[in-house]
Each structure stands twice: as C-alpha cells, then as structure tokens.
C-alpha cells in the first residue's frame, strides 16, 4: 500500500488492501511539507470512506503552509479512536436530549434507537455505515410493517446524530443519509372536532383538570401549538388589546400575534400569570414539556378514537389546532389569513385547508363577472386585525 502522487502538489494517496468503499479499495490521503527546521513531515489526513478527498487534503496542506509562513507551527490533530454509532448516540442523547426531557417515560428517540438502530449499528464505526446499509434498514423496516413515517423518523435520527458529531468536532466525514431517499408519506390530519364534540371535550377535561381544560380552550380558540402554549409567560399577554405575542415557536423564528376571543381573555385574566412567570406550569412549578395523559384519558372516555386505526383520523392534542384552522376555512377566511394566524412557515401547509373553503372558485368567478359588467364589488372578508378578531369571536365564543 505505497503512496502514489495525486494531481495536487504534496498530496499522496494510499490504496488499502483490506478496506473497501463503494465496491473499490478504499484510499487514504496523506500530505507532506517541510517544517522551519527543514524537517520533512508526513501527515495522514483521512480515508475516502470518511468523506475526505484529494482536494480537501490539498486545502489542509495549504493551511499548514500558510501557518508556517506566518511563523505559526501547524497543529497536527492526533486522531483519537473513531466513535462507534452507539458511542455517538450516547453522547448525542446526553448532551442534546436528556437535559430537555423531564418525563419519567423513555424519550421517543431512545425507544427508536433501541428498536431499530442499536441492533444494527451500535458497535459499527461511523465511517463504516454506508448509504447501502441504511437502504437495507429501510427495506427491512418496511417489510416488518413499519409505516413510512416510522422509517423516515429512524433515518432522520441517524442524520441528526452524524450532524451533531460534525458540529461538535467528533466526526469529520460524510453523512450517509445524504444519499438515501427519505420515504414519502401523507401525515396530514383529516380529523377536526364539531362544536358539539368541543363542548363535550372541554366539559370532560373540566372534570379532570382545570389547567388542561384551559390549555385546550386556548389551543382551540387561537390555533397555538402545545409547545407555544407551554412557553407562554405573563408578559406575552396583552389583555387590554386582546392579543397574545407568540415568540417561542420552533416553526417561526419571527413569532406572531394571535387574538383572544372573549372566552380566552376571561380565562387568562382568571389565570393571572405575572410578567416573567409561565402562564401554565407542572405541579412542581417547572415549565410543561409534554401533553398530559389527562387529555388522552378524556378523549378515550368520550370514545372519540374508538375503532379508529388511521393515526391521521385519531383525536390528539394537535387536533385542537387543526380544528381551529378547519373552522376558519369553513367560515370563508382567506388561506393567507389562516396561515398568518396559525404561524405556518410554508404556504403548502396552509393549502391543506383549501378544500374546506366554501365555493371558493364560484365566488371568485362571480367577482370577475361583476367586475366586467361594471357592478359594484362587495368587500367580503377583510384581512384586518379587527375583522379577524371578530371572526374568531363569532366562531369560538360559544365553545368556551
């Protein structure tokens, strides 16, 4: 396995007799240069299977020479023993997931790792996991009856681990998921609640937990996500103007304004959160981090999910947000306004409510016909804060 010159000055390649990559012998790239004392130095850069190329090696060599030219001794990193995927996962979980996971239940990522990733990759070095390995895992999971969504979650988890190792300077190679096609699936929820179901649900929650009745009322009347509600503090509320400033959304870094219905305003006034303090807290006084089982038990008691197998048709906490969007669409609120109220980052997300907008095409055609006939155009729904607030009041005030 002798060194062979490449087209880059001072960069050499060594072919392995044992390692293979993409069906061919793996190649390791070395660079050479002279120290100020004229001592000749060889430095190993890395393997092709780790994501290195001759061009990358040439860039590193240029950095070494630049440092020497300015009187700095190049720092040659001694490569520690490569992490296995299991070690990388343990580090990722310790630093990234565990600090934010307060529940006594196992984190979903941990369960997924135990079920699908650990049996295959726990003892495998990061450099040895190939796109073909992940394709095989994908196929095996599909044959075992796992949903496309579950397969995509497993692949995304692998990707997150690799990217964090790169960000933390624990890995300097490629991310194998970059060459794997993610499964496509439709996870759009089809289920929303009727006004009668909303009344039943809020009453059942009121018997079990006043706090979760209030949280559910807030999501129904504003379309706020669970995480946005958990992050609300007293200074985010404007009871005088009836506005809530949502500043803690993982979907929209800019935040947004949502409008209180009279029921929400009365509820929040009674809640009485002080500035700097969370509006809703766990029993320990800490921030809420996940939806309580109280909500699921109330749904089960009402039989909303009885006999339903399709996850998209089951009632979960997110169904309250979907109900908000669905009712607005059915009331004729323009899709743009629905997207603004719900904080959608992409227009495509809002378009899922388009089929609920009543007679959109016919109404548009009538407006065009009136314009060409010289008739006066009706304003219809106006996109203004006061108009949106009035619409919310009319739709939701009877469900508080």
344: domain CATH number? 1.10.443.10
**Which residues face 237 on adjacent strands?**
244
> 3-state DSSP: the chain helix, strand, coil percent, rounded to 5?
50, 10, 35
**Do residue 201 and residue 90 come from a single domain?**
no
**Do residue 203 and residue 133 come from a single domain?**
no
**Do residue 137 and residue 248 come from a single domain?**
no
At residue 379, the pLDDT reads: 45
**Do residue 146 and residue 97 come from a single domain?**
yes
User: What total number of domains does the chain contain?
Assistant: 3
CA distance 334 to 325: 11
* DSSP of 345-387: SSHHHHGGGGGGSTTHHHHHHHHHHHHHTTPPPP--S--SHHH
At residue 388, the pLDDT reads: 66
Give per-10-residue mean pLDDT for the chain (400 aa).
85 87 87 80 83 86 81 49 87 83 69 91 89 92 87 93 90 88 72 91 96 96 91 92 79 74 93 89 87 95 90 88 88 82 77 68 55 54 61 71
Domain boundary, last residue among 44, 69, 94: 69
On whether residue 23 sits in a domain, the answer given is yes
Q: Which domain holds residue 123?
A: 85-179
At residue 214, the pLDDT reads: 97
**Do residue 45 and residue 113 come from a single domain?**
no
- Angle among Cα 160, 163, 165 to the nearest 5 degrees reads 110
**Do residue 115 and residue 141 come from a single domain?**
yes
On whether residue 79 sits in a domain, the answer given is no
At residue 170, the pLDDT reads: 86
On whether residue 258 sits in a domain, the answer given is yes
On whether residue 77 sits in a domain, the answer given is no
On whether residue 56 sits in a domain, the answer given is yes
On whether residue 366 sits in a domain, the answer given is no
**Do residue 99 and residue 142 come from a single domain?**
yes
Helix (H) or strand (E) holding 184: none
On whether residue 190 sits in a domain, the answer given is no
**Do residue 97 and residue 46 come from a single domain?**
no
Cβ atoms 122, 84 nearer than 8 A: yes
At residue 255, the pLDDT reads: 75
At residue 11, the pLDDT reads: 93
On whether residue 119 sits in a domain, the answer given is yes
**Do residue 157 and residue 212 come from a single domain?**
no
**Do residue 141 and residue 272 come from a single domain?**
no
Domain boundary, last residue among 42, 69, 96: 69
At residue 232, the pLDDT reads: 92
**Do residue 394 and residue 327 come from a single domain?**
yes
Residues with Cβ < 8 Å from 37, sequence gap 6 or more? Answer: none
- Angle among Cα 279, 280, 285 to the nearest 5 degrees reads 110
């Amino acid at each position: 396995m002798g060194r062979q010159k490449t087209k880059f000055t001072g960069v050499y390649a060594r072919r392995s007799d044992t390692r293979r990559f993409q069906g061919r012998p793996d190649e390791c790239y070395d660079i050479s240069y002279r120290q100020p004392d004229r001592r000749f130095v060889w430095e190993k850069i890395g393997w092709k299977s780790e994501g290195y190329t001759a061009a990358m090696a040439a860039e590193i060599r240029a950095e070494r020479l630049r440092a020497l030219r300015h009187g700095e001794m190049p720092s040659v990193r001694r490569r520690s023993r490569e992490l296995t995927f299991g070690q990388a996962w343990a580090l990722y979980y310790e630093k990234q997931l565990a600090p934010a996971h307060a529940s006594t239940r196992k984190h979903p990522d941990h369960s997924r790792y135990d079920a699908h990733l650990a049996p295959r990759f726990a003892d495998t070095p990061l450099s040895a996991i190939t796109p073909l390995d992940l394709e095989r895992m994908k196929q095996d999971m599909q044959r075992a009856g796992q949903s496309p969504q579950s397969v995509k979650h497993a692949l995304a988890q692998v990707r997150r681990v690799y990217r964090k190792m790169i960000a933390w300077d624990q890995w300097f190679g490629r991310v194998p998921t970059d060459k794997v096609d993610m499964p496509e699936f439709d996870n759009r929820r089809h289920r929303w609640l009727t006004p009668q179901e909303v009344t039943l649900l809020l009453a059942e929650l009121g018997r079990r937990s006043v706090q979760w009745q209030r949280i559910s009322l807030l999501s129904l009347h504003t379309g706020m996500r669970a995480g946005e509600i958990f992050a609300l503090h007293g200074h985010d509320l404007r009871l005088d103007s009836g506005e809530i400033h949502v500043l803690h959304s993982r979907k929209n870094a800019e935040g947004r304004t949502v409008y209180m219905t009279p029921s929400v305003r009365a509820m929040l006034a009674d809640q009485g959160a002080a500035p700097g303090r969370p509006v809703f807290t766990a029993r320990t006084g800490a921030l809420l981090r996940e939806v309580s089982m109280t909500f699921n038990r109330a749904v089960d008691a009402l039989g909303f999910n009885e006999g339903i197998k399709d996850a998209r048709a089951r009632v979960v906490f997110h169904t309250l947000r979907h109900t908000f969007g669905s009712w607005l669409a059915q009331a004729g609120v323009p899709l743009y306004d629905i997207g603004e109220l719900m904080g959608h980052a992409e227009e495509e997300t809002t378009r899922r409510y388009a089929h609920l907008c009543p007679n959109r095409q016919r109404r548009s055609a009538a407006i065009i016909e009136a314009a060409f006939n010289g008739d006066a155009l009706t304003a219809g729904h106006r996109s203004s804060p006061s108009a949106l607030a009035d619409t919310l009041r009319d739709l939701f005030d009877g469900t508080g």
